[in-house]
């Protein structure tokens, strides 16, 4: 002790006259990584000036010994030394460590009392206790186990829980340790009355969001789920769900739900660009809560030269405001399908409900569409019942998943005798798979199928929006937007005799892309796309290949791709640009 005090005084006296030096810490080469990491953690940040360096050197040996004791090495020995290189202005603190015999756990006694004796969650945590006889004593594991017990108690409503006893008895002579933990959970609290603050919305709209009832055992996850559900409705700008521990009685815990109403009208403006549709300007207007019955509306207007759209959705809650709603939709759209320019109006009534993470949507829609090319006009009207089924499963970040699978199916049709121009049955399916199969290596595969059953005599009379096309950023790169499909020859108009693309009743498109991450924000890509669109069952595929570069931005990947259209008579390169998540 006196020698350590002497060195401390000596360093203190010398330091004011010494220039600031760099300090390095050198540990024994053969030291296990766990011991090395713990010593560095206990030593903390290296000193930045002479005064700090003096204190650091003085305390280093003691801190290192404490770090080793935490790992069960109570007999460890450390020899310290200081090497000063005045020419390079560097000090090196050497710590030679000899671990010696570790302290091993001889006996573990875990006792549980209180209502938790009947709780399977506590049975599981004790059965899986990471403290085992014969293992080297690890204070961190012991402390974490105690923390886990307390956390589990709070999560499951044991608010009076405490440790009756929790200690480690060390026998330094035998290098053994005995661990005793007695945790008394006390009583388990139950949910009491659920109280919402005054709010202009019917109670039966919010009641389906509550997954528990008064008298159920308390669980923190139930409160978190309620908060998430309330946030998801978009009715509120702020949601706080908390137990009123100060008002509890007889182990009954009232729940207070504080809600702040969202802005009645919300507006947003957008500006975007994609190779297929060029510049796009958008305007959005949303009313999260139209009335006390939980109705909401969303209106979006989007303009581009190729594909201007207007979309209005009015949602009415049915059994659940988030997972089961009746939707009334109106859509106006102009689009280029092959060589046809189409304008349509659609009104749709449908139910949208989510169950087991699968979105289902039965609907009825009325479609009025007119189209033209070279002054040749046509139009059609349909009454279409349909059903959509979709599911997304992903792992990792939302905008850049490490693994994921998306599937989408749509079946719809019409009957000529029920206010429809033509009888048809239309099926469309899409799949997309993503996998980070090795560090920095990722694949993205997608497939799309389409099939329309329609009388051969009426194929060409089917509306463009009901036919299939390929080509473009999200289809077969290297080809123009929706430029792939069957053609017909114009029999009239100023371009009489010209072949124009009108789309087909059968479609298959597939793509495989390999991606390599240069960094967390940049990746390169190589892809091959293929597909066929026709009016018969004969497969006549076209192909494209090319490279790409992606930037992972906060709003999603920004993708540039250079597609080479192998199947054209005069193959050419085409640049594609798109923004957004891949699933």
- Whether 261 and 287 have beta carbons less than 8 Å apart is answered as no
Question: Do 74 and 113 fall into the same domain?
Answer: no
What CATH number corresponds to the domain at position 555? 2.40.160.50
Q: Which residue has the tokens 């137990």?
A: 243
Q: Report d(CA 401, CA 581) in Å as an integer.
A: 9
Q: Are residues 282 and 381 in the same domain?
A: yes
- Cβ atoms of 181 and 150 within 8 Å: the answer is no
Q: Which of 46, 73, 98 is the last residue of a domain?
A: 98
Q: What is the largest CA-CA distance in the chain?
A: 110
Q: In this structure, are 386 and 430 located in the same domain?
A: yes
Rounded Cα distance between 320 and 229, Å, is 10
Q: Which residues pair with 395 in a beta bridge?
A: 403
Q: What is the pLDDT of residue 114?
A: 94
User: How many domains does the chain divide into?
Assistant: 4
Residues 546, 420 within the same domain: yes
DSSP bridge pairs for 537: none
Do 91 and 113 lie in one domain? The reply is no
In this prediction the pTM is 0.79
* Rounded Cα–Cα distance for residues 490 and 501 (Å): 11
- Residue 92 shares a structural domain with residue 152: no
| CA–CA distance, 271 with 273 (Å, rounded to integer) | 7
**Mean pLDDT, 10 residues at a time, over the chain (583 residues)?**
47 43 81 91 85 83 92 91 78 89 94 94 92 93 95 95 94 92 95 87 91 94 95 93 89 93 91 77 94 95 88 96 96 84 94 94 95 80 96 92 96 88 93 96 97 84 90 91 83 69 92 96 96 85 95 91 86 88 83
Sign of dihedral through CA atoms 112, 116, 119, 122?
Answer: negative
CA torsion, points 419, 422, 425, 429, in degrees to nearest 10?
Answer: -100
CA 449, CA 430: separation in Å to the nearest integer? 6
* 190-196: strand order across its sheet: 190-196, 252-261, 236-243
| Domain co-membership, 387 together with 525 | yes
Instruction: Examine the domain organization and report whether 62 and 175 are in the same domain.
Output: no
Q: Which two tokens stand for residue 421?
A: 């121009």
Tell me the C-alpha distance between 578 and 285, whole Å. 24
State whether 240 and 155 are in the same domain. Answer: no
* Whether residues 446 and 550 fall in one domain: yes
One domain for residues 273 and 247:
no
| Residue finishing a domain among 184, 200, 231 | 184
Q: Which domain, by its residues, includes 257? A: 190-261
What is the distance in angstroms between the CA of the first residue and the CA of the last residue of the chain?
66
488 pairs with which residues across the strands? Answer: 500
Backbone angles phi, psi at 564, to 5 degrees: -115, 115
Give residue-wise pLDDT tens across range 72-92.
Answer: 999 999 998 888 877 777 788
Q: What are 239-261's pLDDT values in tens digits?
A: 999 999 888 889 999 999 999 99
CATH code for position 148: 3.10.20.310
- Whole-number pLDDT of residue 277: 74
Contact 359, 352 (CB under 8 A): yes
* pLDDT value of position 21: 52
Domain boundary among 140, 158, 184: 184
In whole angstroms, what is the distance from residue 390 CA to residue 429 CA?
10
Give per-residue pLDDT as tens, 336-367: 877 788 899 999 999 999 998 899 999 999 99
Structural tokens at position 330:
């109106």
Q: How many CB atoms lie within 10 A of CB 117?
A: 10
Angle, helix 50-70 to helix 139-155, in steps of 10 degrees: 80
Q: At what angle do helices 50-70 and 33-43 cross, to 10 degrees?
A: 140
Contact 580, 556 (CB under 8 A): yes
Q: Based on the domain organization, do 169 and 303 belong to the same domain? A: no
- Would you list the DSSP string of 457-499? GGGGGS-GGGSB-B-STTS-TTS-TT-BS-EEE--SSTTTT-E
């Amino acid at each position: 002790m006196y020698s350590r005090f002497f060195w401390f005084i000596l360093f203190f006296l010398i330091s004011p006259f010494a220039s600031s030096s760099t300090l390095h810490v050198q540990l024994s080469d053969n030291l296990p990584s766990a011991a090395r990491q713990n010593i560095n953690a206990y030593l903390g940040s290296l000193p930045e000036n002479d005064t700090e360096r003096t204190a650091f050197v003085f305390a280093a040996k003691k801190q290192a010994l404490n770090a080793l004791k935490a790992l069960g090495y109570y007999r460890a020995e450390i020899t310290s030394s200081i090497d000063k290189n005045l020419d390079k202005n560097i000090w090196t603190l050497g710590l030679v460590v000899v671990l010696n015999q570790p302290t091993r756990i001889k006996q573990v006694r875990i006792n549980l009392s209180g209502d938790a004796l009947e709780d399977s969650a506590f049975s599981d945590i004790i059965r899986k206790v990471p403290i085992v006889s014969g293992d080297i004593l690890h204070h961190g594991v012991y402390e974490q186990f105690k923390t886990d017990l307390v956390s589990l108690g709070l999560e499951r409503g044991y608010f009076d829980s405490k440790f009756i006893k929790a200690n480690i008895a060390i026998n330094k002579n035998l290098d053994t340790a005995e661990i005793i933990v007695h945790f008394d959970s006390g009583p388990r609290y139950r949910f009491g009355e659920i109280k919402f603050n005054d709010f202009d919305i019917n109670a039966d709209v919010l009641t389906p969001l509550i997954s528990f009832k008064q008298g159920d055992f308390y669980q923190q996850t139930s409160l978190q789920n309620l908060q998430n559900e309330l946030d998801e409705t978009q009715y509120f700008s702020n949601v706080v769900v908390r137990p009123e521990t100060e008002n509890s009685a007889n182990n009954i815990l009232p729940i207070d739900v504080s809600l702040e109403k969202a802005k009645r009208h919300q507006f947003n403006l957008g500006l975007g660009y994609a190779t297929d549709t060029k510049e796009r300007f958008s305007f959005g207007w949303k009313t999260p809560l139209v009335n006390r019955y939980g109705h909401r509306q969303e209106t979006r207007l989007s303009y581009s030269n190729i594909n201007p759209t207007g979309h209005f959705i009015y949602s009415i809650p049915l059994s659940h405001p988030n997972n089961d709603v009746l939707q009334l939709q109106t859509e106006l759209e102009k689009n280029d399908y092959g060589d046809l320019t189409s304008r349509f109006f659609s009104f749709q009534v449908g139910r949208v409900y989510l169950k087991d993470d699968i979105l289902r949507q039965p609907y009825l829609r009325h479609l009025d569409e007119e189209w033209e090319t070279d002054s040749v006009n046509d139009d059609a009207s349909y009454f279409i019942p349909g059903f959509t089924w979709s599911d997304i499963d992903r792992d990792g970040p939302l905008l850049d998943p490490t693994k994921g699978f998306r599937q989408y199916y749509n079946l719809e049709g019409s009957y000529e005798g029920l206010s429809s121009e033509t009888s048809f049955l239309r099926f469309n399916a899409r799949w997309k798979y993503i996998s980070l199969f090795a560090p920095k290596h990722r694949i993205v595969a997608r497939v799309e199928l389409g099939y329309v059953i329609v009388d051969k005599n009426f194929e060409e009379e089917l509306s463009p929006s009901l036919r299939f096309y390929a080509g473009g950023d999200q289809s077969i790169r290297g080809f123009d937007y929706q430029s792939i499909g069957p053609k017909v020859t114009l029999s009239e108009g100023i371009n009489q005799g010209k072949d124009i693309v009108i789309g087909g009743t059968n479609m298959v498109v597939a793509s495989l892309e390999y991606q390599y991450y240069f960094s967390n924000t940049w990746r390169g890509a190589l892809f091959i796309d293929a597909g066929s669109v026709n009016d018969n069952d004969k497969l006549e595929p076209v192909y494209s290949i090319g490279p790409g570069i992606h930037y992972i931005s906060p709003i999603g990947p920004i993708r540039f791709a250079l597609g080479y259209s192998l199947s054209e008579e005069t193959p050419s390169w085409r640049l594609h640009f798109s923004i957004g998540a891949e699933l």
